Structure 1
Amino acid sequence: MTEYERSRTMPALPEHVFDQAANVDQFDNWLPEALHVHAGELPAVTVHEDRTDEDTSALLRARKEQMRLEWGTREQGGYAGWLQVAGIGSGASEVTVHLSFFDESHDPGERPVHDALDRSLARLEDQVRMRVDNAAG
């Protein structure tokens, strides 16, 4: 098993960050560009990967009371992850994303995973900033 983790501080309350991260209809705005999530009857989702042009059955659970998202592949069990939002005071939050690859063939490698996580967290921060800025008027 291989695990990866990245964190990023965001200038918004944890509730705002979590609401943005957990909005399935807006996942394409912050997930890696090559992944697309199509919600079925939650927690069931389908993940399409552009690189392989394959669809994978997965599960997605949002635990608002814990400000946590959890996901993973359904049938093959080769991949799982979570996103955790924590308040750090002064109206800011820290977002941590953790990925676990149980099947070596699903693991793209350290550099590509870290790059994808960093880009995704930056894109999520952009989404959060737009929402907070628009709410502020």
Structure 2
Amino acid sequence: MTEYERSRTMPALPEHVFGQAADVDQLEAWMPQGLHVHAEDPPAVTVHEDRTHEDVSALLRARPDQMRLEWGTRDQGSYTGWLQVAGIGSGASEVTVHLSFFDESHDPGEQAVRGALDSSLQRLEEQVRLRADNAGG
């Protein structure tokens, strides 16, 4: 099993960050590029990966009381992940994303995963800022 984890501080309340991260209709705005989530009968979703042109059955669960989003493959059990939002005071939050690959053939490698996680966290922060700007104006 291979695991990866990245964190980022965001200048927004944890409820706002989690609300943006858990919005199924907005997942593609911050998730790694080339992944597309289609909600079926929640928590069941299908994830399409442009790189492999495959559709994968997956689960996606939002746990608002814990400000946690959890996901993973349904049939193969080869991959899981979670996103956790925590308030750190002064209206800021820390967002941590963790991925676990149980099947090495699904692991794209450390450099690719770290790059995708960093870019996803950056895009999530941009989406949170856009949402805050739109709410305020």
TM over 0.5: yes
1:136 Cα shift?
A: 2.1
Question: Structure 2: how far apart are the matches of 1:50 and 1:7?
Answer: 26
Q: Does 1:72 align with 2:72?
A: yes
Instruction: Please give the alpha-carbon distance, in whole angstroms, between the structure 2 residues aligned to 1:95 and 1:41.
Output: 27
Q: Give CA-to-partner distance per residue, 1:24-73, whole Å, 9 cap, x none.
A: 00011000111010000100000000000000000000000000000000
The residue aligned with 1:12 is: 12
How is 1:8-47 mapped onto 2 (pairs within 5 angstroms)? 8-47=8-47
Aligned to 1:56: 56
Q: Which amino acid aligns with 2:30?
A: W
Q: In 1, Cα distance between the equivalents of 2:28 and 2:60?
A: 15
Aligned partner of residue 51 in structure 2, secondary structure: coil
Deviations 1:71-120 (A, max 9, x none): 00001000000000000000000000000000000000000000000000
Q: Helix, strand or coil: the match of 2:52?
A: coil
Look up the equivalent residue of 2:29 and give its one-letter code.
N
Return the alpha-carbon distance in structure 2 between the equivalents of residues 104 and 33 of structure 1. Answer: 21
Give the TM-score normalised by the residue count of structure 2: 0.99
Identity, in percent, stands at: 80
The letter of the residue matching 1:114 is R
Kindly state the Cα deviation for residue 133 of structure 1 after the two structures are TM-superposed: 1.6
Structure 2 unaligned blocks of 5 or more: none
Partner SS state of residue 75, structure 2: coil
Could you list the structure 1 runs, at least 4 aligned residues long, displaced by more than 6 angstroms after superposition: none
- The number of aligned residues is 137
State how far apart, in whole Å, the 2-side matches of 1:89 and 1:96 are.
16
TM-score between both structures, scaled by the size of structure 1: 0.99
